[in-house]
Amino acid sequence: MNIHARRFLAYSFILAFVIIAPILIFYTAGYRYNPKKQQLATTGTLVVETAPRAARLTLNQEVEYQTPIRLTDLTPQKYTIEISKDGYYPWKKNLTINSQETTFAEDIVLFKKTDPKKLFDFRVTAMAETPDRKGAAILSHNENELDIYYYAFGSKTVQKIYNTTDTLNEPNLSWSKDGNFLLLTFAEPALSGVIINRTAPSIKITVAEFMANAVKVKFSLEEDNILYAVSGDKIIQATIQNRILVTETVDNYNPVKQADFNIYNDYLYLISSDRNQETIIERHRVGVPADRPEAKIILPTAEYTIPGVVDDHLVILDKTSDTTYFVSLGLGEILTGVTELSSYYYKEKENLLLVADKNEIAVFDLDAGEKTTITRVSDGISHVSWYPEINYVVYAFQNRAKIIELDERDYRLQWDLPIDDINDMVLDRKGEFIYYFKNTEPGLFALEIH
């Protein structure tokens, strides 16, 4: 090889090094050429996780992967991300990958495509889900007979836990805090309620046998085996002990002036009317006489009840206008008032409150004091449940079941489920089944969604 050839090769290697070295340096530093912008840009990362796993993922309808996956070295731009799996509804969104940033598409739930099944043939008139969402009390009521069943979600049988041929007007079911006891109340003057032991349904306690003329009977918000009721001018605490109620007076009550009460965290909350016919919500320590309440709040004149507590907010129902208020326990402020509230769910870990009326589904961030509207329609929202992964809400719209995603990037995905004519529906704890009964067809039905 002559000297000219050797020089040519040397210059070629030098030129190649000068060209390739910067490319390698930029590449290892995370730079890629963006043909759309015709410039170099640092890459981004996409992380995708799905339930179930092993779903197909495609980017821009070209490259195919399998979940879960972490994709690095992606050119910054908008990508069409499609996720699919046989037997499931697809998921599709346009997400932007930014330079030197990680875009997350986590907690993606793929919902099953299945047909509903009828579990039982008896007529269902009401359903009350247990606090742990592992089962439900099912009421079957006609003119001649009333039956109550307990159904453990996922089981093949149902257990009858109560039966009567007595005429009971407006029966209502409510669970104790941990779901071990069921209270049946009704608008029959001679009877104030029956307590049914869920794990030993042969044990039934008639409230009137232990508290004369008891009204406003309700379970404690804090203890599973304690109830409260008004008897005459006294508020009575009743402790369930096997087949009896052990009672004691805990405070005074004025049935002429006061409309309802509840007890929480050693405070008695009372709804009263004053001389100006205003409605006052007030509180004082249980059993501690008070000339003046420690705190109070004034609401428009109406008929109110206090059904419960959510986080540090009292739930107050205006039965006149069908408005539900969420009021701070200190009675210092009203978080919100929702007319024709259909559902509310609280997620303690995230401190989020989901509320829904016939027009709107919204989430309140109780730490930040912010409201986010999830969806709004003219009419027809009902039976709203928070999916176990809080990125989804299951609800009925005009008596048809739907699922909506809370992730608002690109747009909120929605899926129509193959069930309609819904009278009431509940979602089990694991988010695997929707249980419901219909307006026109007797029976209890189930739809598997995950």
Convert the pLDDT of each residue in 236-294 to its tens digit.
999 999 999 999 999 999 988 899 999 999 999 999 887 677 889 999 999 887 667 67
Say if 158 falls within a structural domain. no
Encode burial over 257-291: b for 16+ CB neighbours within 10 A, e otherwise: ebbbbbbbeebbbbbbbeeeeebbbbbbeeeeeee
Residue 206 phi/psi, 5-degree rounding, is -90, 120
The two three-digit tokens of residue 242, written as one number: 């096997």
Overall number of domains in the chain:
1
Establish if 80 belongs to a structural domain. Answer: yes
- pTM value is 0.87
Take residue 416 and report the two structure tokens written for it: 């129509």
Residue at 317 is within a domain: no
DSSP character at residue 19: H
CATH of the domain at 87: 2.60.40.1120
Residue 248's contacts (CB-CB under 8 Å, 6 or more residues apart) are 236, 237
Phi, psi of 13, rounded to the nearest 5 degrees? -65, -40
The alpha carbon of 122 is separated from its chain's Cα centroid by a whole number of angstroms, namely 28
Q: H-helix or E-strand containing 195?
A: strand 194-197
**What are the C-alpha distances in Å from 442 to residues 39, 155, 217?**
66, 19, 31
Residue 426's Cα: distance from chain center in Å?
Answer: 10
Report helix, strand or coil for 421.
Answer: coil
Task: List the one residue out of 45, 81, 89 whose CA is nearest residue 65.
Answer: 81
- Residue 8 domain-assigned (yes or no): no
Per-residue pLDDT in tens (0 to 9) along the chain, 450 residues = 566 555 555 555 555 555 554 544 445 545 555 555 545 468 999 999 999 999 999 999 988 999 999 999 899 999 999 999 999 999 999 999 999 999 999 989 999 999 999 999 999 999 999 999 999 999 998 888 999 999 999 999 999 999 998 877 888 999 999 999 999 988 765 557 899 999 999 999 999 899 888 999 999 999 999 999 999 999 999 999 999 999 999 999 998 889 999 999 999 999 988 767 788 999 999 988 766 767 888 888 888 999 999 888 999 999 999 999 999 999 988 888 898 898 888 888 888 999 999 999 999 998 888 999 999 998 899 999 999 988 999 999 999 999 999 999 999 999 999 999 999 999 999 999 999 999 999 999 999 999
Given the structure tokens 């007979």, which residue do they identify? 145
Question: What phi and psi values does residue 3 have, to the nearest 5 degrees?
Answer: -65, -30
Check if the beta carbon of residue 250 is closer than 8 Å to that of residue 263.
yes
Residue-wise pLDDT for 69-109, tens only, equals: 999 989 999 999 999 999 999 999 999 999 999 999 998 99
Contacts of 312 by beta carbon, 8 Å cutoff, 6+ apart: 328, 329, 366
Does residue 54 form part of some domain? yes
- Give the residue among 381, 352, 345, 346 at the shortest CA–CA distance from 366: 352
Residue 295: predicted pLDDT:
82
CA 149 to chain centre: 24
Structure tokens given for 449: 């969604």
Query: Does residue 29 belong to any structural domain of this protein?
Result: no
Q: In sequence order, what are the residues at sequence separation of 6 or more whose Cβ sits closer than 8 angstroms to the Cβ of residue 154?
A: 428, 432, 433
Expressed as residue numbers, the domain containing 57 is: 43-109
- Confirm whether 49 is domain-assigned: yes
CA gap 261, 403 in Å, rounded = 37
Q: What's the CA gap between 357 and 264, in Å, rounded?
A: 26
Does the residue 74 lie in any domain?
Answer: yes
